[in-house]
Amino acid sequence: MSQWQDICAVTDIPVLGSRVIKGEKHDIALFRTSNDEVFALADRCPHKHGPLSQGIIHGKTVTCPLHSWNIDLASGEALAPDVGCAHRYPTKVENGRVLLGPRG
């Protein structure tokens, strides 16, 4: 990916839910908060590679369904006491559409 890609409408992602898209190397989970903010992370928890897309979203955090690690949606960082990071992809919303940026 070398430029911003139009992925879907914001409304295609459930509120406090996710949608998975196929990435070049792995799946990417798009998350929508209750405030319609959209974040994108690799769909792999840094702990045991659980599917973050199946986790519970609260605020700007997703809880991994396997071992309850909490991952910050904005940074991909695991919250203390856990340590690790899920790769984050830049996102922006324009005219109700979710755009995914180039991998940083």
Q: Is 95 exposed, middle or buried (0-12, 13-18, 19+ CB in 10 A)?
A: exposed
Please give the pLDDT value at position 24.
Answer: 79
All domains in the chain, ordered by first residue: 5-100 (2.102.10.10)
- Supply the pTM of this predicted model: 0.92
Please give the pLDDT value at position 25.
Answer: 81
Please give the pLDDT value at position 103.
Answer: 63
Distance in angstroms between the alpha carbons of the first and the last residue of the chain: 10
61-63 and 27-32 as β-strands: parallel, antiparallel, unpaired? unpaired
Please give the pLDDT value at position 45.
Answer: 95
Residues of the chain with pLDDT under 70: 1-2, 103-104
Helix ranges (H only) for the chain are none
Kindly report the backbone phi and psi dihedral angles of residue 54, in degrees, each rounded to the nearest multiple of 5, phi listed first: -95, 5
